[in-house]
Chains A and B, each alone.
Chain A
Amino acid sequence: MIEIQHLNMVYPNGVKALKDINLTIERNEFVFVVGASGAGKSTLIRLIGREFLPTSGNIRVFNKDITRLRRREVPYYRRKIGVVFQDFRLLDNRTVFENVAFAMQVVGASARQIRRQVPEALEMVKLTGKARRKAHELSGGEQQRVCLARAIVNKPSLIIADEPTGNLDPETSREIVELLDAINLRGATVIMATHDKEIVDSMKKRVLTLSAGKIIRDEQRGVYNQDAH
């Protein structure tokens, strides 16, 4: 599913955020990316989302090197991945339904598809009863669930999430990760960057530990690594 080779990222200011990353993620895996602040987690996630290009190396996703995508191909790549943000990024004055439908509208879905798929996505994140509420009226956990629904509504096969629980309390965080797990069970590959030790330890998933831009540990059914700090 994802194959990363000799990936280096040097920001324009000279910071070497990633150094020679080599990594393979199989279809339908659930991967936690952990590490100290500044280790390079967000950089890795953003590179997979093709937010910018690496300094060198390649990133193959769905058997295609996304570092070689042409500019006009990027939107079509993004349609195949779902993105969840730490800060939710919802349109505050629109309803829950509209926020999720928005992701379908902008890729040219028909009204019929929207009427069918949006309720499905909302049901998946257990928000069916709140479809007509304005996004800014919801709690943080609910907002993140809307963001999840929006990420899955176009049925992507890869979900990337950069600290999706970063702004939530432990209990709400659990709910979100369990939803991501359910989405993973339905067939999507999930990559999630996090600082949350308890969640990582309890989920028993693959854990990638980054330190100063390098992968220092990569374990199946791993745990959060204290010596990374």
Chain B
Amino acid sequence: MLIRNFIYYIKEAFCSIGRNGWMSFASVAVVAITLLILGSFILLNLNVEHIANEIKEQVEIIARVDENCGPLEVEELRVSLIQLAQVEEVRFVSKEEALVRLKAQLGEFMEGYEQEHNPLRDSFEIRTINPEDVPAVAAEIKKIPGIAAVDYGAEVVDKLFRSTNVIQWVGLAFMIGLAGTAMALIANTIKLTVTARAKEIMIMKWVGATEWFIRWPFIFEGIILGTIGALIPSLILIYAYGEAFSWARMNLYFLPLVAPEQILLDLSKLLLVLGAVIGALGSMFSMRRFLKV
């Protein structure tokens, strides 16, 4: 692309943005809203995923030992558990220790349950190498003789993953709809410009301007509108997420959130690129019909 052509394209693009002030403003606003929602959504998703991972890290299997097992058999069980392929760590919790823990957690509800009348069983707490393997490993452990029952946070984990998946798909569909709207609005804005300059375009064609020469100013117009539209939500999200993160650190310290500096730069880049692409596609759409001659 020749430099003088490039300058011409940019100049034309800015001129026509100025000429269609209101439509330009509307397009920028819609792109901004779309990308603000997309950006918030990405942030939410990243954090849900991050939290889910943290929780998964803490998921362990609890295998209760049959009451009839003596200390020797318990030791044998421990060995066979630790030999399972996916198992990372096995910890023995005696029924006495379990009662102490339970009492600490529940306090007065456990009044009356003393060690002589301990209703609990000995158990193993097992961590797997991959949190995803928990259900499979749990099923395997269940088959080992001497294990009376197996528990793990199955439902919690499954639900967590299922709901994040649903959120992702619904959000994606919503986003595509919004991006389509933004594109249509930009297409409309550019169509106004194109119509307003139909005579000019016709003259250009007659004196031998190439289709791309005619197209570029409009594409730049779309890109400029889209990029301005992306700049606004980028700035808003950088500010708002930073605030939200420091607030959460003070008030919800148990919630493991993704640190702003880890994501905001990439997020802004993504939004700017998306804005530009939405703008460019929008203007390409609006011009398809016009360039026939």
| Interface residue? A51 (CB, 8 A) | yes
Are A106 and B4 in touch, CB under 8 angstroms? no
Are A105 and B205 in touch, CB under 8 angstroms? no
Interface-lining segment among A73-81, A118-126, A166-174, A180-188:
A73-81
| Interface residue? B293 (CB, 8 A) | yes
Are B207 and A51 in touch, CB under 8 angstroms? no
Interface string of B203-229 (1 = CB under 8 A from A): 111111111011000000000000000
From known contacts A51-B293, A111-B4, infer whether A75 and B203 are also in contact, taking CB-CB under 8 Å: no
Are B199 and A102 in touch, CB under 8 angstroms? no
**Which of B200, B202, B207, B293 is within 8 Å of A107, CB to CB?**
B207
A145 to chain B, nearest CB (A): 16
From known contacts A91-B203, A108-B213, infer whether A154 and B208 are also in contact, taking CB-CB under 8 Å: yes
For B8, the chain A residues whose CB sits under 8 A away are 105
How far, in whole Å, are A38 and B206 apart by their CA atoms in the complex?
23
| Interface residue? A110 (CB, 8 A) | yes
Classify chain A's interface size: 20 to 34
| Interface residue? A197 (CB, 8 A) | no
Classify chain B's interface size: 10 to 19
Are B203 and A89 in touch, CB under 8 angstroms? yes
How far, in whole Å, are A79 and B211 apart by their CA atoms in the complex?
13
Are A107 and B199 in touch, CB under 8 angstroms? no
Chain B residue at minimum C-beta to C-beta distance from A76: B208
For B209, the chain A residues whose CB sits under 8 A away are 75, 106-107
For B213, the chain A residues whose CB sits under 8 A away are 106, 108
Are A107 and B203 in touch, CB under 8 angstroms? no
| Interface residue? A150 (CB, 8 A) | yes
Are B199 and A78 in touch, CB under 8 angstroms? no
Are B211 and A72 in touch, CB under 8 angstroms? yes
A-B contact pairs, 13 of them (CB 8 A): A71-B211, A72-B210, A75-B209, A77-B208, A79-B208, A89-B199, A89-B202, A91-B199, A91-B203, A103-B207, A106-B204, A106-B213, A154-B207
Interface string of A46-71 (1 = CB under 8 A from B): 00010100000000000000000001
Are B4 and A83 in touch, CB under 8 angstroms? no
B201 to chain A, nearest CB (A): 10
Are A102 and B203 in touch, CB under 8 angstroms? yes
